[in-house]
Amino acid sequence: MPPADVPDGSKAGVARAGQQLDEQLLRLGIEDFGPVNSARESAQEALKGWTSEQAIKVLIRNHCLIAGSQGFVTNIGGFITMPGTLPASWLGQLQRPELAVLRPSTDAPAQVSERRHAHSAS
């Protein structure tokens, strides 16, 4: 959502550009795109030797396999970057001690207040 100080005409232009992008991506998904078959070709290929119900199940299964593979590869990337992101997260917590997890007690708000006072005094 654009900031409130953006003129209404700009908001409409952004919405229109987003809609055009959405329509173009949908068209690419339905029509032929590079090495990827069009939706029609995929459906015709799935219908070879199958009933329409079986073809639908094959298409859904294949799509789920592809989506699962993409998720797996994405998770590998997250695992590879974890040695850098985990210490960064810990350092971020050290910068804001009042956000650190406090042990459960009845004076938890007082502990946060004391830590803020000690942090601001230094």
Same domain, 68 and 120: yes
Contact predicate 29/39, CB 8 Å: yes
Compare 86 and 99 and report the one with higher pLDDT. 86
Find the domain containing 61 and state its range.
40-99+111-122
Any bridge partners for residue 33, and if so which? 36
Predicted model pTM: 0.47
**According to the model, what pLDDT value does residue 112 have?**
56
Q: 67-78 burial string, b = 16+ CB within 10 Å, else e?
A: eeeeeeeeeeee
Same-domain status, 76 and 120: yes
The answer to whether position 81 is within a domain reads yes
Residues 62 and 95 in one domain: yes
Chain segment 10-64, per-residue pLDDT in tens: 778 888 999 999 998 888 878 877 777 888 888 888 899 889 999 999 999 988 9
Whole-number Å distance between alpha carbons of 68 and 88: 29
Q: Is the pLDDT of residue 84 over 80?
A: yes
The reported pLDDT for the residue numbered 65 is 94
The whole-number pLDDT of residue 95 equals: 75
Give the closest residue to 119 by CA, choosing from 100, 97, 99.
Answer: 97
| Same domain membership, residue 93 and residue 66 | yes
**50 shares a domain with 23:** no
Is 110 a residue whose pLDDT tops 60? no
pLDDT for residue 28: 82
Distance (Å, whole) CA 107 – CA 54: 63
Any residues with CB less than 8 A from the CB of 38 and at least 6 apart, and which? 30, 31, 32
Mean pLDDT, rounded, of the chain: 78
So what's the pLDDT on residue 69? 94
Question: Does 19 share its domain with 50?
Answer: no
- What phi and psi, each to the nearest 5 degrees, are found at residue 36? -90, 130
Helix (H) or strand (E) holding 42: helix 39-47
